[in-house]
Structure 1
Amino acid sequence: MRRWRALIVLGTAQFLMVLDTSVMNVSISQLVEDFDTDVTAIQGVITLYTLVMAAFMITGGKLGDMLGRRRGFAIGLVVYGVGSALTAVAPVLPVLALGWSVIEGLGASLVLPALAALVAGAYRGRDRAVAYGVIGGLAGAGIAVGPLVGGWVTTYLTWRLVFAGEAVLVVAMLCCIGWIPDQPRTGPRPRLDVVGALLSALGLALVVLGVLQSSSWGWLRPRNSPVTVFGFSLTLFVIAAGVVVLWLFREWERHQLQQGREPLIRFSLLAVPPLRAGLTMLLCQNLILLGLFFTIPLYLQIVQGYNAFETGLQLLPVSVTMLLSAMSGPLLGRVASPRTVVRLALLVLLASILWLLATVEPQIDTLSFALSMALLGLGMGLLASQLGNVTQSSVGEARRSEVGGLQYTAQNLGSSLGTALVGALLIGALVNVFTTRIESHPDISEAAREQTSIALQAGVSFVSTDQVRAAATRAGLPPSEADAIVDAYADAQIQALKAAVLVTAAVTLAAFPFTRHLPRRKLGEQPNPTGHQMP
């Protein structure tokens, strides 16, 4: 039992990191009310959290090597705890964004790469497979507990208690930090590539910012864009600038190596096929999961009118099956290779998403919805049971923290893009369908169409039909026209939600070709089953 004490602390940290996002997702409606804002602003806060983690995760991995992995893990926990405490007392939205999105995000960027490396360093062979299965299972448990407990606390008490509890839990973990073995560093102390850190963070930030703002700026035709470039929206230019900065980052890292200096990241790692495949799958997994976990609560809360606790209950099947299937990873590893398990997981995911697509209707079929959620959790858990072990087993001990940084960068970049891209497409589809419906509706006058068009140009958010009716009444529209506009908006809501869900199905299909480089052998069979381990 003594050898598993480290896993208690490390697993609790993983649980904590996942809990945050799941709590926020089911509390969207309450956060909108508490901070007197809209869904788009809360979407921005959620995206900023994962963006900060994605932008600084590589740097966090390097700092873990410099400070020592256990010390870096402990410092990250302290930063994370401070952010949780500030979030618990946030009086306004900017303070919420600072405490949760920025400070907690920075703390997580130190905790997670060190966590991945510490698990790999503490366990070997089948024990390592078990450890990563437990870590994946606890990530599933965070998703399980987040919607249910977070929803209950949000509905009957306040969501702030969740973050206050996190701060207390951080203190408890710090008291047990000695349970984690820390391997001493060999060789010279690494140095931080400051220029590389800034370039990587800026490039990733610009890409995700462009995707996020596309819902209000527009992709090509400007809607609410602060400026236009040659008559086009700013969106694609911001994304292109991010791509250019990331290219400069890669060139700078090559220059660092040529000069005999320590780079922030060795891009030669991405030449290792199992590692490259594992990172791609992690990005796709989180893009799908966070995209759905942004879309589904909107459907349940805005369209169906559920409160946060009722939303958590509806999401319970996905949480339970994800926990169980993630914990089954070690057992599956004895009979099937990671490639086989991941391909099976993708097939299950695709089936669950298509099933979910059929349940998104004005009147929810709760049984069908629950079964589709259970199937979704099964697929996600199967992925979670394999990918952490695949990435860490692809390299040698010296590159554990670096790969941990890459691993969680891929996950959080996927999370950022999932929330931003799916959210942007949701709003875009909502505008397009709503505009089409009111233009062709015989009961809506030309004057009402013009008023609606002006309102859409000023910006749109995913709101309830009651809010649309209230806005139509304030505009002085007669009841028949108000009813017609509400009907058109309700139809647009469903079509937009289905479009958003369909995007995640497309990502699932696009992920299949990347599985061919995953290990064909069971990872516990030999120390380096991939044959591609880096020194």
Structure 2
Amino acid sequence: MSERATAGRPASALRKALVPFALAQFVCSFAGSSMNVMINDISVDLGTTVQGVQVVITIFLLVMAALMIPGGKLTDRYGRKRCLTAGLVVYGVGALLSAVAPGLGVLLIGNSILEGIGTALLIPPVYILTTLLFTELSSRARAFGAISALGGIGAAAGPLIGGFITSTISWRAAFLLQVAIVGAIVVLSRRWVHDPLPADRSRPFDISGTVLSAVGLVLVVTGILAADNNLWLMLGLLAAGGAVLTWFFVAARAKERAGREPLLSTALFRNRTSNLGLITQNAQWLMLMGTSFVVSAYLQVVRGYNAIQTGVIFTATTLGLLLSSLAAERFAKRRAQRTLIVAGFAITIAGIAALLLLLVTGRPTAWAFAPGLFLIGFGLGGMLTPSVNVVQSSFGEELQGEISGLSRCVSNLGSSLGAALAGTILVAGITTTPQRAYGLAMVAVAVAGVVGLVTATLLPGNTTGPATGVPGRNAPAH
């Protein structure tokens, strides 16, 4: 079935719909990475401490992790476009409140609470609508490639853009930039985005499952973030989170047996292809954020570079990611998605190895990092798209809301784990053997990449498009 016949819209209209989707992913990724270079300026301006601003960032991660899965589920009940718009409005209000915050409390409400809720509401519809509107393999690969490219650029270039705005204008201007982008997305999405499926107000919403999943994920993310403070606290929180999430799964299974609809269908966890794809997504974002954390810390702490100089060096990652992401359609036509994911991990690991050699062999020039960073960006850009496509295409229309929320949640956990893993190793050895600490942190990131590589080789060789999926409830497979 052609894309025109399935979606009922000409290709030009689909390309227009892709613009607000990609911008939405960009602004969310940019917000997360740019905040790190504004901590000192925010703390001075608001009369608080660096630790206080870090609490704001931590709570944002917790809110987003807790609500990403329910946010995906709400799209079935209220409609994907409506949830996208609602999320954008909530996010925009939060960004505006953050820009005019007179103190830490208002910043916490704006950035941590409202932007966290907005992100959880707007990101799942982006991936659901992309899956539903772009029905052919090559066009879906192009669409996810554009979204992944802007998401990766937002994450990689966030420190550069945020550092430049903070240094030349004010950290408040960075939040105003988010408000402007969100406003543009609202206008463009109202004009160009069409929801191909009607909302179903009769769909139940699992409140108890929402509470269990939120509590479990908050405990897990808190445990990850506590990794560089207290090992036993980390293990205790992770164990508690695992126990609550197990309770959530058992309860969901019991609801299904009783004929009720849970927050997440347990069918999501019985699909081998999707499960393997989720692991690769987690490893990819772990490597991106872990590498960014280690190299940024090295350049600023050891070499004395400021945020802008560090961001300029990371343009190599941005360039590599942009080139491979925009070539996603061409790659998808020529190679199976498993091949692309395996190649992406191999290239990224090679880039990490190149950086590792630089970190443990003296004092390299700053630009010596460019080849390794380029390889990391190119490898990640080449596999982010097929990994998302494999997961989203594994299920029919009825499960798109659930798998989208789960997929974004797993990716965010990977980002948190990457920063926490690298941070823990650096904190443990930075005062005694700094060079060795940076090297060990990169080794840990590389090991995660090897795990992802091995997982990717286990994907079915015929993961080339929507036909590889399994049907959702009462819906045919794509």
Contact 1:390 1:519 in 2 (8 A): no
Contact 1:29 1:301 in 2 (8 A): no
Q: Deviations over 1:492-535 (max 9, x none)?
A: 333322222221111111122321343423635xx50x254444
* 1:215 matches 2:224: no
Q: Deviations over 1:458-486 (max 9, x none)?
A: xxxxxxxxxxxxxxxxxxxxxxxxxxxxx
Aligned equivalent of 1:6: 17
Contact 1:116 1:404 in 2 (8 A): yes
Contact 1:191 1:262 in 2 (8 A): yes
* 1:200 matches 2:205: no
Aligned equivalent of 1:408: 408
Aligned equivalent of 2:325: 326
Structure number with bigger Rg: 1
Q: How does 1:31-180 map to 2 (within 5 A)?
A: 31=42, 34=45, 44-125=55-136, 126-178=138-190, 179-180=192-193
Contact 2:342 2:457 in 1 (8 A): no
Q: TM-score, normalised by structure 1?
A: 0.81
**TM-fit CA distance, 1:47:** 4.2
Q: Deviations over 1:150-174 (max 9, x none)?
A: 2211222222212111112212222
**2:334 is paired with a residue of what secondary structure?**
coil
Query: Distance in 2 between the 1:359 and 1:158 partners?
Result: 34
- Letter of the structure 2 residue corresponding to residue 75 of structure 1: A
**TM-fit CA distance, 1:193:** 0.8
**TM-fit CA distance, 1:421:** 3.0
Counting matched residue pairs gives: 459
Q: Deviations over 1:390-424 (max 9, x none)?
A: 11111111111111111101111111222233222
- RMSD (CA atoms): 2.2
Q: How does 1:442-521 map to 2 (within 5 A)?
A: 492-521=433-462
Aligned equivalent of 1:382: 382
Contact 2:153 2:322 in 1 (8 A): yes
Cα 1:412–1:292 shift into 2, 3 Å:
same
**TM-fit CA distance, 1:246:** 0.9
**TM-fit CA distance, 1:327:** 1.1
Contact 1:360 1:494 in 2 (8 A): yes
Cα 1:28–1:341 shift into 2, 3 Å:
farther
Q: Deviations over 1:292-319 (max 9, x none)?
A: 2222222222222212211110111001
Cα 1:320–1:64 shift into 2, 3 Å:
same
Cα 1:71–1:163 shift into 2, 3 Å:
same
**TM-fit CA distance, 1:94:** 4.5
- Letter of the structure 2 residue corresponding to residue 184 of structure 1: L
Cα 1:416–1:95 shift into 2, 3 Å:
farther
Cα 1:374–1:94 shift into 2, 3 Å:
farther
* 1:191 matches 2:204: yes
Query: Distance in 2 between the 1:148 and 1:401 partners?
Result: 34
Query: Distance in 1 between the 2:217 and 2:386 partners?
Result: 26
**1:234 is paired with a residue of what secondary structure?**
helix
- Letter of the structure 1 residue corresponding to residue 457 of structure 2: R
Cα 1:118–1:314 shift into 2, 3 Å:
same
Aligned equivalent of 1:447: none
Task: Report sequence identity in percent.
Answer: 36
Aligned equivalent of 2:194: 181
**1:90 is paired with a residue of what secondary structure?**
coil
Q: List runs of 5+ in structure 1 lacking aligned partners.
A: 220-232, 438-491
Query: Distance in 1 between the 2:379 and 2:265 partners?
Result: 32
Q: How does 1:18-29 map to 2 (within 5 A)?
A: 18-29=29-40
Query: Distance in 2 between the 1:340 and 1:390 partners?
Result: 12
Cα 1:389–1:116 shift into 2, 3 Å:
same
- Letter of the structure 1 residue corresponding to residue 342 of structure 2: R
**TM-fit CA distance, 1:287:** 1.5
**TM-fit CA distance, 1:198:** 1.0
